[in-house]
Amino acid sequence: MTRKLNRVKVKLVTCMEKTTYTGRRAKGFDVSKLSFNLCDRLLTDLERAKRPVLKATKCALDNSFYNPDVGFLEAGDKKVATELNVSSVKKMSRTVFMLELILRNINVGAINTKRELYYISKGEIKHNKALKPLDFDDQTESDTIIDFIGELLECYREDLNCYANDRGGQTYSQQLVVEETMPSGEKAIIDLSKLGTSPFQPKNRPQNLKLKAKHKIDFCLIVESEGTANTLVNSGFTKRNNCILMGAQGVPSNAVRGWCRLIQTQLKVPLYFFGDLDAYTLQNIFRTLKAGSAASLIRNSDFCAPEVRFLGVLPDDIKKYDLPDYPVREKDVQEGRALKKARDALQNDPFFKDKKNKGLSNILKWLIQNKRRCEQQAYFSVAPDDPWMPEKIVLDKIKRKEFV
Amino acid sequence: MTTDNTITKSSSAEYFSKNLQQVGFSSFTKATLTTVKEAIDNSLDACEDHGVLPDIRVEVDRLGLGTAKGADLIRVRVQDNGPGLTLEDAVKVFGQYLASSKFGRGRCSRGQQGIGISAVTTWSQLTHGTGATVITRTKGMKNAVQCEICVDIKKNVGILKTKQIVDWDQLSGVSCEFIMDARVQLNGDGGIITYLQGTALVNPHLNLRYKLLDAEEVFIERVSDTVPLIPERTSPHPHTMKLGEFLAHSHLFGKTNTKKWLKEGFSRISDTVIKELIEKGMPESVFNKTLSSVSEDQLKQIYAGLQDVKLMAPPTKSVMAIGEADLAKCIQRLGEIDFFAVETRKPTICDYKPIQVEVAIARRREKSEDDRDSPVQILRFANRVPLQFDKSACAMTKAVETVNWRPYGLTQPKKSLPQGPYIIAISLVSPFIKFKNASKETVDASDELVEEIRHALQKCGHKLSAHLNREIKEADMERKIQHLEQFAPILVDGLCRITRSNEKRKERAMAGLEKILGKDSREAEKEFIHAQEKSEDATKLMAENMGVSHEELLEQMHGNGENDNERDMPEQLELIVNTGSGK
Ligand SMILES: Nc1ncnc2c1ncn2[C@@H]1O[C@H](COP(=O)(O)OP(=O)(O)OP(=O)(O)O)[C@@H](O)[C@H]1O
Ligand SMILES: [Mg+2]
C-alpha cells in the first residue's frame, strides 16, 4: 500500500471488444478515472475545510422504478449521502483504502473475489501498523465497503475486478455455439452439441460472449430446479427440440441473469421459465430473472431478461392436470413470512404494481387467497409410467400459449 | 368451649408439624434460611415495637453431618437487643403455634400469624431432638434466663425443658439457638447472604453482624439513628373494602348511629363526603338511624355511593416507607457502587389497598465478564422482608420486565430483565400485601400493582440515566477524539496517493480535515460536559436529600479504595453467583 500507484489511467483489462452488448459499459467505463475524480473532489473539499459528501445511488425498493418500456427495475434519484464527520471518517478511510487496493488490481489486471479482497486487506494492514485502525473484523465489513464503492461509482462489481462465484445456469443445447473473447484477445469457440452430457456454464462476463445458432432455435427453457433440468436433458429433451435448456438453481445468480439477457438480445428467441407455483419462486426467482432486483438497481439493465415468460406451474394447471398441491400454513414461520412478503409486494413492489405484469400479480393474489402451493415436479405425477409426460406438458403449454 | 379451644390448638400444632414445607421447610437449604429469617423478622419487629435501635448478630455453623441423608448438622444463633421476653412468654412464643401479638393489627409488621418461630422449633425438634435454646431478659428481670423450649405437638403448648440463670452482658434482649438438619447456601437467590444484605438494604437503622461458617465476621453498620415510626393502626378505607367486608363491618356496630359509624369506623369519610352522598340521592334520614335499623339494600347503596366519591388516599400513616434519603444510604451498604438512584412513590391505592412503592437502582463497581450478558439482580421486599423464591411470577419481577430500559441506557433483551451489573431493589409496604401463596414469596401481580411499580421503576430509571448518559457521552467523546487522531492521516494519505498529489496539497487537506473533525469532537466534548453537569445535579439533589455534602456523597460513591467496608465485605459483590451450599 505504501507503494505508489503510478499508472492510474490504465485501460480496463476487462473492457470488452466490440460486442453487441448493450449495457452502460458499452459507453466506455473507466473506474480509474472515476476514482481519480472522486478522490480529487474529496481532497479539494478538505483543502477548503469543507465537509466532503459522498453520494451513492440508493439501492432499495423505495428507489426502484419499473419502466414498462424497458421491462426492468431502474434506480430513481434517491442518493445516500455520507457526509464526512468524526463518525463517518472511519468508513471513508476504509473506502479510500479499499479503493486503492482495487485500483491496483485493475492496474495489473488481477481479479479477486470479495473474500480474497478481505484477506488482501488483512495482509496490507498486517504489514503496515499505521493502518491498524482500518482493520476489518470480518468479511461482511469489507463486503459492505466494496458494495459501497460500487454504488459510489455506479459500476458493477466486475468493473472493480471483483468477481462472484458463478453459480447455476448450466446450459444444454444441440444448436447453440458460443464464441468467447478471452482477456488475451484470443477467441474460443464452444459448440454446445459437442459437450456430450456436460453442460456449458456461463461466467459472469456476458460481454465477452457472442452467440450463434447452428440451426434455428425455437425457444429457451429455464428450469428452476437444476435436477429437473438434468432429468429433461437425460430423457432427450434437447435432442427432440431445437432449444436451449438451462437450470437456474434457485435465485438466479448474476451469471445466470446476464446469460439470459444475452440469449434474449443476441438470439431473439422466446424464453420460458418453468418453476414452482409459490410466492417465493414468483417474487424472488422469477421477478429477479425478469426485471432484476432492488439491491442491484445499477446492474439490472444488463442482468435480467424482461422477455422471459412464466410457463408454470400455473394455478389453472393444478385443476387441469390434477396436480398434487399443498396448503401454505400461515402459522409456519417461514411460510407465514413468505405470505406476508407477497402481500407486501402487491402493495409496494413497482414490478407487481405495474399493469404490464397484471398476469403475474394475479397469480400472487391467487396464492395469497388460496394459500396453496404446487411444485414443478408435480408434472411427474400426471402419468407416472410415462417419463416423457412433463416434456409433453411443457411443449403443449408453449404451443397453446399457456403462459403468463 | 374450653375443650373446643384445646382441640383447635392441638390440631394446629399437629397440622403445622406435618406441613412444615408450607412454612419454609421444603428443603434443607431453605430450612437454614427460614430459621435465620424468622428469628431476624421477630427481632426487628420487637425492636421496632419498643423503639429500640436493633443490634442483631447472626451466627451459622456447620457442626457435622446431619441425621438425614444429604443434610448437615447446622446450628443457627440469632441474638437481639430488643425488649426481651418473660420466661412465660418465651415458652409460648417458641413452643406454641398461633401465639402472636400481631394478629389483625392492620400494621406493616413482618410477622403476622404466630407460626414462624414455633415452626423452627418444631423442625429442630423433629430432625435433631432438641427444641429452641433461648436466652432472654427483659428490663424487669434481674438476671437473664437460659432455657430449652419444645413444642408439645399433641396439645400445642410450649414445654419448658430446662432453665437456668446465666450471666449476660445485656440488659434486655433475646438470643435463640437451633440445631437442626439443614444445609447452607450463602449466595444466589435463596442464599443467606442475599437475605442478610437485603435486610440491611431496607432497614437503615439496623446494626447487623454476621458470621457464616468459616468466613470472617461481617459488620454492616446502621446508617440511620431513628427507629422507624410504627405506623398507627388505621381504620379501613372505603375503597379498600369489598362489599361483603363492608357489610360484615357494619354488623359489629349494630347500635351505633350510621353517620358516626361511617365517620369513625373508616378513614377519609368526612361530613363533606356524607353531604356528597346525600346530594347524589341518598336520603338524609338513613344517616341518622342506628345501623341495625338500616336495611341491607341501603347499606349496599351507601357502599356503591362511596365507591363513586373521590376520597383522599388512605392515610400514609399506615404504610411505612424507608424514604429516599435512607434508601440511598442503605444501597451503598451493598458494596462498592458507581452510582445509584432511588425513588419513593407517594402512598397510593392498588386493588383497594393502601400501598407504597420504593425503588433503588445501583450499578456495582466490581464487574465481571459475564455481568454484561447476565440479568440484573432484583431484590424484592414486602414490608421490609426480602422475598427470595418464585421470583418469576411476582408483581415486582413482572414490572421490571415490562419496563423498557433501553432509553435509560441499559441493555435489555425483548420482554425480559435488563442486563448488566445492576441491582434493582423494589420495596412494597402495605398493611395488606396480597401474596400468591402461603409461603409468602410472590406478590400477586395485579395490573394495578404492576403499573404502580412500573411507574416507580421508570422514574428511577430516568434518574439513573443522568449518570449513565454521562458515561455514554464520555465514551463517545473519547471515541471521536480517537477517530480524529487515527483516521485523519490515513484518509488524507490515501486520497493523495490515488490523486498523486504533492506534499503541499497534503498538508492543506490535513489542516482542513483537522478543522472539520476538531469541530465535531468539540461538539462531543460539549455534550459530555452537559451530561456531566446533569449527573452532578442529580447527585447534588441526592446529597441534599440525604443531608450530606455533595463531596461526601461522591466520596462515598467513588470511595478511595481504603474504605473499611471494602475489606469487610468482599463476598457482598458476588451476590449473583450461586455457589450452592457450603460444605
Ligand atoms: N426476639 C423477640 N423479642 C421480643 N418478642 C418476640 C421476639 N420474637 C417473638 N416475639 C413475640 O412473639 C410473638 C410470636 O412470634 P412468631 O414468630 O411465632 O409470630 P409472628 O412474628 O407474630 O408471626 P409470623 O408467624 O408471621 O412470624 C411475636 O408476635 C412477638 O410478640
Ligand atoms: Mg415471626
Q: What pLDDT digit, counting tens, does each position of B526-556 carry? A: 888 888 888 888 888 888 877 788 887 777 6
- The answer, yes or no, to whether residue B567 has pLDDT greater than 70, is no
pLDDT band at A88 (very low <50, low <70, confident <90, very high): confident
Report the alpha-carbon distance of residue B151 to residue B153 in Å, rounded.
6
Q: Is residue B226 very low, low, confident or very high in pLDDT (cuts 50, 70, 90)?
A: confident
The whole-angstrom separation of Cα B108 and Cα B493 is 72
Predicted confidence band of residue B35 (pLDDT cuts 50, 70, 90):
very high
Kindly report the number of other CB atoms within 10 A of residue A218's CB atom.
14
pLDDT-derived band at A10 (thresholds 50, 70, 90) equals very low
Alpha helices, H only, B221-340: 243-251, 258-265, 271-279, 285-288, 296-308, 324-331
The more confidently predicted of residues A245 and A334 is A245
**Mean pLDDT to the nearest integer, A210-234:** 94
DSSP-derived 3-state class of residue B417: coil
Could you tell me if the CB of B431 is within 6 A of ligand 1? no
Checking if the pLDDT of B579 tops 60, the result is no
Q: Which fold has domain B12-220?
A: Heat Shock Protein 90 (3.30.565)
Predicted complex ipTM exceeds 0.85: no
| Partner A, chain B 432-451, Cβ-Cβ below 8 Å | none
Res B502 pLDDT > 50:
yes
Q: Is the pLDDT of residue B104 over 60?
A: no
Per-residue pLDDT for B239 more than 60? yes
pLDDT in tens, B371-405: 778 899 899 999 888 998 888 889 999 999 999 99
How confident is residue B235, by pLDDT bands cut at 50, 70 and 90?
Answer: confident
Chain Cα centroid distance, residue B453: 13
Q: What is the pLDDT of residue B13?
A: 74
Would you say residue B129 has pLDDT above 70? yes
Burial-class residue B186 by CB neighbours within 10 Å (0-12, 13-18, 19+): buried
The residue of chain B nearest to residue A37, with distances taken between CA atoms, is B499
pLDDT over 90 percentage in chain B: 37
Size of interface A-B (CB pairs under 8 A): 95
Query: From the list B490, B494, B498, which residue is nearest A36 (CB)?
Result: B498
Tell me: the pLDDT tens digits for B443-458?
Answer: 988 899 999 999 999 9
Residue A87 contacts B where some CB pair is shorter than 8 Å = yes
Which residues, listed in sequence order, are joined to residue A179 by a DSSP beta bridge?
A: A189, A210
Residue B500 near chain A (CB below 8 Å): yes
pLDDT for B338-363, tens place per residue?
888 899 998 888 877 788 999 999 99
Task: Take atom 15 of ligand 1 and give the residue whose Cα is closest.
Answer: B114
Residue A2 C-alpha cell reads as 505504501
Q: How far is B472 from chain A (nearest CA, A)?
A: 15
Q: What is the pLDDT of residue A324?
A: 93
What's the sign of the alpha-carbon dihedral B362, B366, B372, B375? negative
Residue reference for cell 402493495 = A347
For the cut 80, the answer to whether the pLDDT of residue B1 exceeds it is no
**A11-25, A75-89, B498-512: which has the minimum mean pLDDT?**
A11-25
What confidence score (pLDDT) does residue B77 get?
A: 97
Closest ligand to residue B24's CA:
1
Q: Which of A23-37, A231-245, A379-393, B340-354 has the lowest mean pLDDT?
A: A23-37
pLDDT band at residue B107 under the 50/70/90 scheme: low
Judged by a CB distance cut-off of 8 A, whether residue A7 touches chain B is no
Residue of A nearest to B488 (CA): A89
> Which among B307, B290, B298, B321 has a CA at the least distance from the CA of B237?
B307
169-188 in chain B: CB under 8 A from chain A: none
- Report residue A192's pLDDT band, with 50, 70 and 90 as the boundaries: very high
Q: Reply yes or no on whether the pLDDT at A398 is more than 90.
A: yes
User: pLDDT at position B402, please?
Assistant: 93
pLDDT at A378: 93
Residue A240 pLDDT > 60: yes
Confidence of residue A8 (pLDDT cuts 50, 70, 90): very low
Domains and CATH numbers, chain A: 2-163 (1.10.10.10), 170-400 (3.40.1360.10)
Instruction: Tell whether the model's pLDDT for residue A21 goes beyond 50.
Output: no
pLDDT higher than threshold 80 for residue B564: no
The pLDDT, as a whole number, for residue B100 is 63
Cell digits of residue B214: 468459616
Inter-helix orientation angle A89-108/B447-499, to 10°: 40
| Closest residue of chain B to A87, computed from CA coordinates | B480
Angle of the A358-370 helix axis to the A333-348 helix axis, nearest 10: 140
Across chain B, mean pLDDT equals: 83
B124 lines ligand 1 (CB under 6 A): no
Q: Which of B49, B55, B100 to mutate to test the pocket of ligand 1 (most atoms within 8 A of CB)?
A: B100
Residue A52: CB atoms within 10 A of its CB come to: 23
Nearest one of B154, B121, B150, B347 to B234, comparing CA atoms = B347
The pLDDT score that the predictor gives to residue B237 is 80
| B491 interaction partners in chain A (CB closer than 8 Å) | 89, 92-93, 96
B86 phi and psi angles, rounded to 5 deg: -70, 160
Whole-number pLDDT of residue B353: 76
The pLDDT, as a whole number, for residue B469 is 85
Is the fold of B12-220 the same as that of B333-468? no
Residue A109 confidence (pLDDT): 86
Strands B144-152 and B132-137, sheet pairing: antiparallel
Q: Is the pLDDT of residue A146 over 90?
A: yes
| Nearest ligand 1 atom to alpha carbon B173 | 3
- Sorted by where each begins, the domain ranges of chain B are 12-220, 238-308, 333-468, 520-580
Q: What is the pLDDT of residue B4?
A: 38
CA of B46 to the centre of ligand 2 (A): 10
pTM: 0.62
- The span from the CA of B551 to the CA of B44, in Å, is 33
Q: Rounded to a whole number, what is the distance in Å from the CA of A82 to chain B's nearest CA?
A: 15
CB pair distance less than 8 Å for A99 and B516: no
- What was the pLDDT predicted at A14? 33
Compute the distance between CA of residue A231 and CA of residue B53 in angstroms, rounded to an integer.
91
Cα–Cα dist B291/A163, whole Å: 95
- B103 phi, psi to nearest 5 deg: -55, 130
- For ligand 1, whether the C-beta of B80 sits within 6 Å is yes
Provide the pLDDT confidence category of residue B320 given band limits of 50, 70 and 90: low
> Residue B385: CB within 6 Å of ligand 1?
no
User: Is B333-468 a domain of CATH 1.20.1260.10?
Assistant: no
pLDDT of residue B493: 93
- State the smallest CA–CA distance between residue A47 and chain B in angstroms: 4
Q: Is the dihedral of CA A108, A113, A116, A121 positive or negative?
A: positive
Mean pLDDT of B119-135: 92
Average pLDDT in chain A: 87
Convert the pLDDT of each residue in B294-305 to its tens digit.
Answer: 888 888 999 999
Rg over CA atoms, chain A: 23
A260 grid coordinates: 439470459
Position A84 confidence tier, pLDDT thresholds 50, 70, 90: confident
Residue nearest to atom 21 of ligand 1 (CA): B111
Q: What is the pLDDT of residue A204?
A: 73
Lateral strand order in the sheet of A219-223: A171-173, A243-247, A219-223, A271-274, A309-312
Give tens-digit pLDDT for B3-34.
333 334 445 777 777 777 777 888 999 999 99
Which residues of chain A does B473 touch, with a Cβ-Cβ cutoff of 8 Å? none
